[in-house]
Amino acid sequence: MIEAISKDLPEFYIGLLFTLLTIARFENRRWVRARIGGKQGASIIIGLVVNLTSTLCAIFYYLFLIAFFVDNPFWNVFYLWGIASIINMVYASISGADSAFNWTVGTIAVYPLSILLFPEVSWFGFLN
């Protein structure tokens, strides 16, 4: 039984990177929500980068899941997304109140995590 489930699980490296991207994306969204709620900084450029990062990350996140689905069976995608979502919920419940430090680290971490995940799928056959 365990062997049947373990063959459907994505590789640990991809799962770890995707989970970290999910958490980083969550922290970036927290920062965007705080900005919408009235927390505006002194720099318009930083606000633009934060908002643009949120949009780019959302696009990459869902495109990655779709591209991962093209390359892998449904259950791999389901486990990848499900495990990352559960770990993110646990992180959200223990991370406490909003923290500018967490927002910053999450927003910056989105870019290297996306770069590391990019070559892990074939992108609909364009990368092989």
Q: What is the pLDDT of residue 18?
A: 97
Cβ–Cβ under 8 Å, residues 105 and 30:
no
Put simply, whether the predicted model's pTM sits higher than 0.85 gets the answer: yes
Residue 75's contacts (CB-CB under 8 Å, 6 or more residues apart) are 8
Mean pLDDT for 56-85 is 94
Cβ–Cβ under 8 Å, residues 102 and 110:
no
Q: Would you give the DSSP letter of residue 10?
A: P
Cβ–Cβ under 8 Å, residues 19 and 84:
yes
Cα(123)–Cα(120) distance, integer angstroms: 9
Percent of the chain scoring above 70 in pLDDT: 91
| Residues 34-64 pLDDT 10s | 988 887 777 889 989 999 999 999 999 999 9
Q: Would you give the DSSP letter of residue 82?
A: H
Burial 6-15 (b: 16+ CB within 10 A, else e): eeeebeeebb
Q: What are the residue ranges spanned by the domains of the chain?
A: 11-120
Q: What is the pLDDT of residue 2?
A: 57
